[in-house]
A and B are shown apart, each in its own frame.
Chain A
Amino acid sequence: MEVSLDFSKVKEIVEDYTEKVDSLIDSYADKKEQIISLLQDIQAEFNYLPQDVLVKISQKLDIPLSQVFSVATFFRAFSLKPRGRHLVTVCLGTACHVKGGQRLVDKVERDYKIKPGETTEDMRFTLEAVNCLGCCALGPVVVVDGKYESKVTPDKLDRVLKKYR
């Protein structure tokens, strides 16, 4: 994952984030070890981890920024970049792989010019590849915004994605 931190931004801590973020961080004050959960909650709110919120977590919970950052970049579930309006997750678990999951990733790459982890310029789609969603009977599986599509072919994927604007 590409990692960069703009230090000029680190200094200006944005104060006008919703109270929700503040109270969310505060609710973890006595359980700092659950920082992964906190980051998941933040990401659920913004659909990525805004840099200034990471700084805020570090300050409020008194965790070194380096540690917050290392956790945020280590785990696949987190994104430091804003993601598109629709999240397209292609399962590449073994069962989906032997049934042609990779061809679906190739298809999205070709049609929308994005690789796994990337977002289209118009912010329409973010493509993610995941290692198994445990729906192996339905493979290859693609999940768009939480909706499961089963036995997907490149052709079917095309039709599905056209529904999302």
Chain B
Amino acid sequence: MVEPVRKLLEKKVESPEELENLRQSILAKRDPKRTCITVCGGTACRASGAEAVVEAFVDEIERRELQVQVSLKETGCHGFCERGPLVVIEPKKLFYQRVTPDDVEEIIDETILAGRVVERLLYTDPTTKETVTYEPDVPFYKKQTRNVFGTNGTIDPTNIEDYIAIGGYAALSKALFQMTPENIVDEVQKSGLRGRGGGGFPTGRKWQSCHEAKSKVKYVICNADEGDPGAYQDRSLLEGNPHSILEGMIIGARAIGSHQGYIYVRNEYPLAVRHARIAIEQAMDYGLLGRNILGSGFDFNITINKGGGAFVCGESSALMASLEGKVGEPKAKYVHMAEKGLWERPSLLNNVKTWANVPLIINKGADWYAQLGTQGSKGTMIFSLVGNIVNTGLVEVPMGITLRDMIFDIGGGIPEGKKFKAVQTGGPSGGCIPEQFLDTPVDFDELTKLGSMMGSGGMIVMDEDTCMVDVARYFIEFLKGESCGKCTPCREGINRMSQILSNITRGKGKPEDLDTLQDLAEVLSAGALCALGQTAANPVLSTIRYFKDEYLAHINDKKCPAGVCRELVSFSIDPEKCEGCMRCIRECPTGAVSGEKKQPHTINQDMCISCGACYDVCKFGAVIKR
């Protein structure tokens, strides 16, 4: 790490006063006006080359001996992944985007030494063509309310002092010394917080049952097995601000009387695992975790468990089975996990985002928290705005914002001037929402009414080129692979739906298929053991509900209107546009394309397998997809 590495404290923090003193001493050492270059080190920015940018800054700062004037910090995900690697220069929050190592020298010369802005690295709004200099003025950020996610961009997740400096662990101190466990549960109840992982169950009620459950041993678990494809906010929080999750968990442990916690995190998230591990070690060193936390006499430990790559393990009982070293199969829920969960003990399981909300509620109070949001859904929610959208990234907005505001104002609309078709929310348990409902306020209940759900906050935007039957088939295929196979309705029902949908996309659908799909959906929702099966039909039902004409086109006319389903699409070459470069001839795996150099080529329809290879490689737009 580039920031001065944490100094080992001579002794642990042993009282609220000592924590406050520590905070003051950290702040006293820091000059808020000092120039600090922050580079986003989230997984997406890293994939775009952020690490090389950090290295270039380190070298350049050393070469010019600027260590005294300038500090450098690698932070967690800022959210605006589309424009990464992101560099924000504090204290003014000068915002540079798509920075490469080659830009570093100029940034140092111009901005750091001469105080000038490097215009070409600034963000230009694609719609208004306005150039923005400072991060808070970027339209993508401007319309957000970043209560939970905002600090990600300013702290180094591997340095606990950064978190303490911004008021971290103050909520824990308050919960331990000024509140009883009952007070804590009440506060969470009053805040109206609902589970951010999928179901939207009232968090306070879960805490209450766990608090009341009689057992000497209880467990607290953080569900970071973020499996919904298209959702990555849990990972970004755990990577970017792991201490906020630890703090939430310790407060939860205090509220229910637990001394052992687990973070169950996906194996596919190595950076999140590493940062959580470092955070746990540092919190132990500082006396904020482990024995006698803050001198209160309360003990609590956290262990990290890596998942094995099974989507069903995001389900509470399957997750707990997996923590016990067993196959991740769900159990029937006539007994609640809050009473008999991990090792048959009362267990408090919450999603990463839910835990991250807890310190806020304790610090600022339930009344403050409940001001934001709608009647039934309080606070903010972090969504991942992905798919066919201009500004891909993570956004935090108050519950109740409309889909239109989110997709068009924050997300910047659909790229390449294409038309919006649907937004898919809630992952494989959710559904597709069409254009006529864009003005619906987004909260737990409204989305359910539309046949979709909030889920973990994934929002996948789809444009006119997306085939909705293919989308339904995609989700069913996904669930077919992820069904654990324990209960028959899910194992066989999803398999059957997959066969039917697959037939429809191949032009072999029958008119009665839609009824069969609906019958199967009923069986699944009534008979499946866990939510994976019970909600599996949602993507199918919602697409039949809103895009029935597309199904009918596939079934009756054997056509895929969006031109996606391979077997219903044919390719041909426009002789006017074809330059005869022979590129597609070389690329075609079956030898279906033929022709002479500099002469228009042709496709032999009998040999064509509609793989689209010619379409992909043609530089002249001469291949027609129909």
Contact = CB atoms under 8 A, between A and B. Distances in A.
A40 B229 contact: no
B47 interface: yes
A132 B232 contact: yes
B575 interface: no
A93 B230 contact: yes
A17 to B, nearest CB: 22
A24 interface: no
B328 A132 contact: no
A156 to B, nearest CB: 10
A130 B229 CA distance: 9
Contacts of B458: 94
A154 B141 CA distance: 34
Interface string B415-427: 0000000001001
A156 B106 CA distance: 30
A71 B47 contact: no
Contacts, number: 140
Contact-residue size bin, chain B (C-beta under 8 Å from the other chain): 35 or more
A138 to B, nearest CB: 6
A98 B388 contact: yes
Given A75-B309, A103-B616, A110-B589, A94 B47 contact: no
A19 interface: no
A99 interface: yes
B607 to A, nearest CB: 14
B229 A138 contact: no
B224 to A, nearest CB: 12
A70 B329 CA distance: 11
Contacts of A53: none
A33 interface: yes
A106 B228 CA distance: 23
A159 to B, nearest CB: 12
Given A94-B230, A134-B235, A36 B47 contact: no
A75 B384 contact: no
A139 B323 CA distance: 32
B311 A131 contact: yes
A137 B416 CA distance: 16
A150 interface: yes
A92 B450 CA distance: 26
A64 to B, nearest CB: 11
Contacts of A137: 44, 81-82, 84, 386, 392-393
B611 A106 contact: yes
B309 A98 contact: no
Nearest to B566: A106
A136 B327 contact: no
A134 to B, nearest CB: 3
A94 B309 CA distance: 17
Given A75-B308, A75-B309, A135 B43 contact: yes
Contact of A150 (B48, B328, B424): B48
B612 A36 contact: no
Given A94-B229, A154-B617, 9 more contacts: A33-B324, A131-B227, A131-B478, A135-B44, A136-B386, A136-B387, A137-B82, A150-B47, A153-B616
Interface of B: 43-44, 46-48, 81-82, 84, 226-232, 235-236, 267-269, 305-311, 322-328, 384, 386-388, 392-393, 424, 427, 458, 460, 462, 466, 471, 474-475, 478, 482, 484, 589, 611-613, 616-617
* 4 interchain residue pairs of minimum CB distance: A75-B308, A134-B232, A137-B81, A148-B47
15 contacts: A33-B324, A35-B325, A78-B308, A95-B229, A95-B387, A95-B460, A97-B474, A98-B387, A131-B229, A132-B232, A134-B44, A135-B81, A136-B81, A138-B81, A155-B617
